Amino acid sequence: MRITGYYTYRIFITLKAHFNQKNFDINKYDFNYLKPSYDTFLKTKGIKFYDSLAKKAVSEKRLVNILICAFVNDPTTWIKDIVNNFNTFNENAIEWENKINNFPYIFEQDCYLLMEKGLKFDSSLGDFVFSEFCNGNISVESFIIFKKIFIFSLDNNINFEYIYKDKYSKYELLLKFDLSKYKNILEGVIKCNRLEMT
């Protein structure tokens, strides 16, 4: 299906709302895009940028991924920024797609790293995993999976409030992982670690 400037506009304003409005969650709308009137689109400043991005994006999926990566990096990103630096934004999206496609392996490596650094399955787990994420040692996606598996709360962690909630909490809502698959990966790493210690 050919992407139009108007359709690009709908996707853009929906994802921008998801990342910028506290009570807006695209999942509540079954990932349906907002549908302002076509007249509203025609009156929008920078309409040419939506038409341009529509022509550059190879598919709706790539367009969505470009916007997700852009808004995770900077929720205030504007359409002009993406069009004027399209190659960079597109490469970021391709890199992110590859990461998600290979994520079971990445998660496994992150688990091994956490075990090597002394991961303990006690009340310190949440703060420990968050600290490793903040230090750039594990991916945000691995942190999210640990958070979902162990359902830990970091509400008393000032850094979590400052670093994570504003930037990544909305990203977390977009990620759909088969938690049972990742629990099995983690269990496998734990078993391997125990065998190496004996």
Let me know: does 130 contact 160? Beta carbons within 8 Å: yes
Burial zone of 187 (CB within 10 Å; 0-12 exposed, 13-18 middle, 19+ buried): exposed
What would the pLDDT profile of 26-46 be if each residue is shown by its tens digit? 988 888 899 999 999 999 988
What would the pLDDT profile of 128-184 be if each residue is shown by its tens digit? 999 999 999 999 999 999 999 999 888 788 888 888 877 799 999 999 899 999 999
pTM for the model stands at 0.89
pLDDT above 50: residue 198? no
Task: Tell me the helix, strand and coil percentages in the chain, rounded to 5.
Answer: 70, 0, 30
What would the pLDDT profile of 50-107 be if each residue is shown by its tens digit? 999 999 998 999 999 999 999 999 999 999 999 999 999 999 999 999 999 999 999 9
Q: What pLDDT score was predicted for residue 36?
A: 94
Let me know: does 56 contact 84? Beta carbons within 8 Å: no
The two structure tokens encoding residue 41: 């689109």
- Complete domains list, the chain, with CATH: 5-100 (1.10.8.60), 102-197 (no CATH)
Q: What pLDDT score was predicted for residue 21?
A: 92
Q: What is the mean pLDDT of residues 192-198?
A: 63
Burial zone of 70 (CB within 10 Å; 0-12 exposed, 13-18 middle, 19+ buried): buried
The two structure tokens encoding residue 192: 């391997």
pLDDT above 80: residue 194? no
Q: Over the Cα atoms of the chain, what is R_g? A: 19
